[in-house]
Structure 1
Amino acid sequence: MNKVLIVEDEPNARTGLAELVASWGYRTEVAGDGLEGLEKVQQWSPSIVVTDLRMPRMDGLQLLDRISELQTKIAVIMVTAQGSIESAVDAMRAGAYDFVQKPIDPVRLRTILQNASRQMGAELELEITRRRLKETGVLGPLIGSSPRMKEIFELIERIAPSNVSVLITGESGTGKELAARALHELSPRKTKPFVAVNCAAIPETLIESEIFGHEKGAFTGAQERRAGCFELAEEGTLLLDEIGEMPAATQAKLLRVLEDRKLRRLGAKTETPVDVRVIAATNKEPQLAVAAGELRGDLYYRLNVFNIHMPPLREHMSDVPLIAQGMVEDMNARHHCSVSGLTDAVLDKLMHYPWPGNVRELRNTIERAVILAGNGPLELKHLPANFGELGFIPPNHTAFQRPTSQGAAPYRESVSSNEIVELEVGTTVDEAERQLILKTLESTNNNKTRAAEILGISSKTLQNKLKEYASAGLLHEA
């Protein structure tokens, strides 16, 4: 329960205001002027101070200045005489959270108190999260202490409290959904729903209905009205994963919803207001997707207010021991095991594997090992028999390199250590891509799901590429 200190020199006004605030469920304490108020702040540690502007000994502005010098977060709400807007503005510039004018409007004051309570709670939890991050390298569901991950954590902390759209990029399995969840958990929306939808996993004929909802009779089979993902995420966060796989018509409708904050269900005659923070994710290079017509340029710019690029695991291998231990603890709780940790031999194996499937592949490996071990430390015998067959491509070989954005270092696609895609000078990017896809399929015995994970693309994208090659008669050429 939030504690509210009332600072007012007029006794009747002080008592009445304290009783009013207490009736809303707050714990209250009172002070007769700024000096007494400062003492109460230091002794009682309120989260909110409601103070009159004009008082003897120490006025409200002076009290605000002294509170701002303390190493604690306190929301100060200034009470001003009617017509003293200039003084109220001065107080806001000096750091006051908000102000109310006399005679006090109870509805306005209660709203301000509610908003201040939420903000103070969010800032307190953010401070706790920062301390935890500094001590353990954990930010919500994300784990890491490498410079790359620390930069990402700092960016998430900075933008989480806002409502701006965020575009998260990175290969498949790098933790894009985890980053989205961290944004949600560190935001004022954390008590509301977090809804994630994979645009690549929904048939094109159903995706608009899934996201925006539909009315009864909107199409064949629509036997009742259904809320879409936007309405399910009301006041919360909506993650649109693999945004580049969304059909162009649906992208256009999404852009309008983002701009107008209203949506129209399929078959509806009226629009419905929505209050949702939208986060999008893609394993494609966004600029290339825009150039290829897979992602609308105007939608990209609307979503890309902030960009979080999740690096592949091979680019922050120093985080593997910390991530792996965190996963062991998670799997212990999930599967009722008591694995104590990882042996040095297992850690050495994990540190010398390129992780083409990134954090997702590491998680699957750890989960399997924990279940097999049951208790005690994880040993080499608990890893898959063929673990480590994939290796880094030697640096003296030419391999297809994906174009990079925002100065990120290029990376080499990892295929079987004996299967290097040799390219001649003058090979086009499209041809290099085709050779890499076919060679990866060959190395996985035509396992398309596995090949898509290694290539860092969705299964749907891989299928589309193969259809293109087949129609052009290029599917079986090397």
Structure 2
Amino acid sequence: MLGEDFETRLAGELQFPAITDLVEWCDVVLLDLRTVSVENQADHEKGMQLLDEIVQAPTHPPVVALCDADDRHMLLGVMERGAFDSAENPPNVLELRLILRRAYKFFAAENELNRLRKTSREAGRLHELLGASTTMQELFALAQKVGPCDVNVLITGETGTGKELLARAIHQLSPRCARPLVAFSCVNLPETLIEDELFGHERGAFTGALACRRGRIEAADQGTLFMDEIGDLSLGLQPKFLRVLQQRTFERLGGNTTVNVNVRLISATHHDLPEMVKKEKFREDLYYRLNVVQMRLPALRERREDIPLLARHFLQRSSEQFKKNTKRFSRLAMSALEEYNWPGNVRELENVVQRAVVLAEGQTVDSWYLPANVQGGSQSLPTIRSYEEEVRQFKRRLVLRTLRECGWRKAESARSLNVARGYLHRLINQLGIRETEGAAPAEPPDVILPPRRIM
């Protein structure tokens, strides 16, 4: 009836043990709830129960319900229960084909999106954040859990570690992703200007206020507000901001009208907020409101195994930006990048790579194109790790770099390091080295859509 593009299967043809197996068996479910097909009320309730079980599965094919045209209550009911669409009885075959094709395309697009999300994480990427190290993978996993939950998040870490990128990744993983993320930095601004930026003002609130202006909080309504360097928010503004978090209301400057907002707050700071609370420089009640879930971005020197991945990413991006033919780092240059302590973190690394690409004349970035302090490590930070830990990290970087250069061929890597192959295998296990570390993301395979399978 549906044509050659569709492969039709009946539920009686396959006895699947669980609803979740439907995703492997069909691409669209056509659920028949017509009066002529439902002999009694029990059969009708069984059909609705089956619909509930399908849509409650974590991954399920879209459901198209076939209902009587005069039963508007049934048509609305199946849509409220999560059916993708409904078709009236008697069905118009052309219209039914269009509905099924649309449902199939939606299901295929959803599967592709899930595949790309999984691939990006496995390749050491979460949206714009890069990192294949264990620390970053754990952080990405936490972000995947926290993102869909509408809770406040406090991101801590040194300047330049990518706190705003993490905030944007969390926003993209949340149900609010279709709404804006409004970012605001509290650094080095007068209190009056911060208040106006956050809460807005009414016309005539002060000299020069010629029109009503919405603030950042109001602009983020139904979306996400990212407060960068929240630790620099003055004590005078903290109670007013706390009220927004507690009651979701505020008044613009110069106004008496209460404005209701629904925002998710993600805040970031490089300050030690608990210490500021002890010194009474930050309100304790506000700190607890911000700190529902805390995520710490490690400094770059704490995840040195990510430096090659980040450096190559910045190299490719800078080469495209400046229209250069630079394609790689020399061994000495990469070694210098890995050994430097990066007080400015990822931001400093990006700037150093940009400079090197601009100065480089060939396809290879040599060490002399790097700043003098990076070449010699003269700006290295004092180590706070033990001697044993420093030696272990040096061994790990050396083995990992050699494996990458040899294409992860163990025998060749052992010869390059002048060690026995068995000893190299022990080092790899002891140092927790994985082949996926720093690897470039694989090209996604071409997606070939199979014939639509309709149950």
TM-score band by shorter chain is 0.5 to 0.7
- Out of 224, 230, 243, the residue aligned to residue 243 of structure 1 is 230
2:280 alignment partner in structure 1: 293
Helix, strand or coil at the partner of 2:244: helix
1:393 aligns with 2:375: no
- Structure 1 residue 156: Cα displacement: 0.5
1:309 alignment partner in structure 2: 296
Distance 1:261 1:122 in 2: 34
1:163 alignment partner in structure 2: 150
1:262 aligns with 2:249: yes
Distance 1:323 1:337 in 2: 18
- Out of 219, 225, 240, the residue aligned to residue 253 of structure 1 is 240
- Out of 199, 213, 219, the residue aligned to residue 226 of structure 1 is 213
1:174 aligns with 2:155: no
Distance 2:111 2:251 in 1: 36
- Structure 1 residue 61: Cα displacement: 3.8
2:357 alignment partner in structure 1: 370
- Structure 1 residue 234: Cα displacement: 2.9
AA matched with 1:381: W
- Out of 180, 194, 197, the residue aligned to residue 184 of structure 2 is 197
- CA distance 1:173–1:194, shift in 2 (3 Å): same
Distance 1:234 1:62 in 2: 38
- 5+ unaligned residues in a row in structure 1: which ranges? 1-28, 81-99, 398-478
1:128 alignment partner in structure 2: 116
1:113-152 residue pairs with structure 2 within 5 A?
A: 125-134=113-122, 136-152=123-139
**Residues 110-158 of structure 1: CA distance to partner in whole angstroms, max 9, x if unpaired?**
99869xx9x9888863552122221x21111111111111110000111
1:45 aligns with 2:27: yes
Structure 1 contact 34–55 (Cα < 8 Å) conserved: no
Structure 1 contact 346–378 (Cα < 8 Å) conserved: yes
Distance 2:110 2:251 in 1: 33
**Residues 202-230 of structure 1: CA distance to partner in whole angstroms, max 9, x if unpaired?**
22221011011111111223222111111
Residues paired across the two proteins, number? 345
Distance 1:243 1:34 in 2: 57
Helix, strand or coil at the partner of 1:157: helix
Helix, strand or coil at the partner of 2:182: strand
AA matched with 2:121: L
Distance 1:344 1:40 in 2: 52
TM-score, normalisation: structure 1? 0.62
1:465 alignment partner in structure 2: none
- CA distance 1:396–1:243, shift in 2 (3 Å): closer
Q: Identity of paired residues, percent?
A: 37
Structure 2 contact 63–83 (Cα < 8 Å) conserved: no
**Residues 425-459 of structure 1: CA distance to partner in whole angstroms, max 9, x if unpaired?**
xxxxxxxxxxxxxxxxxxxxxxxxxxxxxxxxxxx
Distance 2:177 2:278 in 1: 36
Distance 2:196 2:54 in 1: 55
- Out of 348, 359, 364, the residue aligned to residue 361 of structure 1 is 348
Helix, strand or coil at the partner of 1:221: coil
- CA distance 1:382–1:50, shift in 2 (3 Å): farther
Structure 1 contact 79–101 (Cα < 8 Å) conserved: no
Distance 1:52 1:296 in 2: 59
- Structure 1 residue 338: Cα displacement: 3.3
Distance 2:287 2:63 in 1: 40
- CA distance 1:286–1:266, shift in 2 (3 Å): same
Helix, strand or coil at the partner of 2:140: helix
Question: Relative contact order: is structure 1 or structure 2 higher (C-alpha 8 Å, sep ≥ 6)?
Answer: 2
AA matched with 2:382: I
Distance 1:122 1:41 in 2: 12
2:339 alignment partner in structure 1: 352
1:313-462 residue pairs with structure 2 within 5 A?
A: 313-373=300-360, 376-387=363-374, 388-393=377-382
Helix, strand or coil at the partner of 2:380: coil
Distance 1:396 1:66 in 2: 53
- Structure 1 residue 72: Cα displacement: 4.2
- Structure 1 residue 271: Cα displacement: 1.8
- Stretch of structure 1 that moved more, 324-333 or 341-350: 324-333
- CA distance 1:102–1:159, shift in 2 (3 Å): same
- CA distance 1:386–1:45, shift in 2 (3 Å): same
- Structure 1 residue 60: Cα displacement: 4.7
